């Protein structure tokens, strides 16, 4: 059933996209001017910022996301706490741009994923899959006084999809190229690639999670600096170490890498338990923590190579790297080395903002939802058909 709040009016609107990823560093907020819908969508970024989580908030989020901590009280309070922080981020990006919050037409909020179970598991005698994002949209709607679209993943999962990756639909709208095959590699906590064959339709879009992005590197950087650093800024720590071939070979035996798409992964696979096992194996090989970080950095690039070589029938001629990992020149050099003959560049080299890309995507997904347009990419998520993702809080 198709219901729309927006109809044929193609006049530009102000919107905010919000994103908080698996790294749980903070809330990204992008203020955009957007007009049209579907392939007529036009977007212009006006302002972007990240509202960092406090160390205490990040630790609590990661503890809840581990899946073995917290009850209903914890989830309830975290949900509303993150809703308030999300509204703070909206007001902050408006202030940075000199725009009154009441001029914003709508907000698209991904929320903070605290659990994602794309593969069915037995629960009370039934196979159940699910996903849970926190950051109460009604709090944002009350503070901003406009519709808020949130909770995107669940509708795709109800249609048989994995609920991820979500951005391929927006990448199709904004990056498709009639002349060449384009790959878009996001490197947040998890890495995900979208392949847009030249002259493609939405049905041709192919995407999947490549494996860990920054998640393992971030955890190792924190261990190496005894908690003083949340991530390897500019790849400086990795640059001081050496990639260990034996440890890398062990990492490449990861069964996720050979699993066919559609597929998605997250902290439930590459969280603290994975890092503990990695460090334990590194010690048996006599590999230092610094060299383990260097090896993990190469591993992220090798995961991308493996995904492209195994599963992409059309190899990208150009790979555009976004997300926090695009700010790591050591990682970018590894990716270029892993994909000879492919032009590897960042959004910045195209005059765009890598850090803002995913937040902008949720403004676009919200815009599609408000027009009543299906906004998933079934070829990426495995859904049985297109659906309108997003719950609307008025």
For tokens 């090798």, the residue is 302
In Å, how far are 33, 333, 344 from 236, measured between CA atoms?
36, 13, 20
Residue 150 in marked binding region: no
**Six-digit token pair at 163?**
């609920």
Residue 16 in marked binding region: no
CB 129 within 8 A of CB 119: yes
Which residues are paired to 17 by β-bridges? 30, 108
> Which residues touch 391 (CB under 8 Å, ≥6 apart)?
137, 149, 150, 151, 154
CB 168 within 8 A of CB 194: yes
Which helix (H) or strand (E) covers residue 129, if one does?
strand 126-134
Tell me which long-range contacts 340-345 makes (C-beta under 8 A, separation of at least 24): 342/183, 342/315, 342/316, 342/317, 342/318, 343/317, 343/318, 343/319, 344/319, 345/318, 345/319, 345/320, 345/321
For tokens 């790591």, the residue is 328
Q: Is 237 helix (H, G, I), strand (E, B) or coil?
A: helix
Residue 26 in marked binding region: yes
Residue 27 in marked binding region: yes
Nearest CA among 284, 361, 277, 354 for reference residue 322: 354
Instruction: Write the DSSP string, 307-365.
Output: HHHHH-SS--SEEEEESGGGG-HHHHHHHHHHSTTSEEEEGGGGT--TTTHHHHHHHHH
Residue 156 in marked binding region: no
Question: CB-side exposure of 123: number of CA atoms within 13 Å?
Answer: 8
Which helix (H) or strand (E) covers residue 392, if one does?
strand 391-393
CA distance 152 to 103: 24
Binding site, by residue number, is 21-28
Binding site for ATP, by residue number, is 21-28
């Amino acid at each position: 059933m198709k219901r729309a709040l927006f109809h044929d009016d193609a006049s530009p609107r102000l919107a905010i996209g919000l994103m908080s990823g698996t790294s749980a560093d903070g809330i990204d907020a992008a203020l955009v001017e957007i007009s049209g819908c579907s392939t007529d969508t036009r977007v212009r970024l006006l302002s972007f910022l990240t509202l960092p989580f406090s160390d205490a908030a990040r630790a609590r989020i990661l503890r809840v996301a581990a899946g073995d901590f917290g009850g209903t009280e914890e989830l309830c309070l975290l949900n509303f706490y993150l809703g308030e922080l999300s509204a703070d981020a909206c007001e902050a990006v408006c202030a940075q741009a000199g725009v009154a919050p009441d001029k914003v037409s709508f907000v698209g909020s991904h929320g903070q994923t605290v659990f994602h179970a794309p593969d069915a598991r037995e629960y009370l005698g039934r196979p159940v899959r699910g996903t849970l994002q926190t950051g109460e949209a009604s709090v944002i709607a009350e503070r901003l006084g406009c519709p808020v679209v949130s909770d995107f993943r669940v509708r795709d999962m109800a249609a048989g999809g994995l609920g991820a990756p979500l951005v391929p639909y927006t990448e199709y709208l904004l990056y498709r190229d009639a002349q060449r095959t384009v790959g878009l590699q996001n490197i947040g906590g998890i890495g995900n690639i979208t392949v847009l064959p030249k002259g493609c339709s939405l049905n041709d879009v192919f995407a999947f999670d490549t494996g860990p992005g920054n998640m393992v590197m971030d955890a190792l950087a924190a261990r190496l600096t005894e908690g003083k650093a949340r991530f390897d800024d500019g790849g400086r720590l990795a640059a001081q170490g050496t990639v260990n071939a034996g440890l890398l070979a062990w990492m490449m035996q990861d069964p996720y890498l050979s699993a066919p798409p559609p597929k998605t992964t997250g902290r439930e696979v590459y969280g603290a338990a994975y890092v503990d096992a990695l460090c334990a194996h590194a010690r048996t090989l006599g590999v230092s923590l610094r060299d383990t970080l260097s090896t993990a950095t190469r591993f992220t690039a090798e995961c991308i190579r493996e995904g492209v070589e195994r599963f992409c029938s059309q190899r990208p001629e150009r790979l555009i790297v976004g997300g926090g990992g695009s700010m790591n020149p050591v990682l970018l050099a590894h990716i270029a080395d892993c994909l000879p003959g492919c032009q590897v560049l960042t959004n910045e080299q195209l005059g765009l903002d890598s850090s803002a890309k995913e937040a902008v995507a949720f403004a676009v997904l919200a815009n599609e939802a408000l027009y009543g347009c299906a906004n998933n990419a079934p070829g990426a998520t495995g859904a049985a058909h297109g659906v309108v993702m997003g719950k609307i809080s008025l």
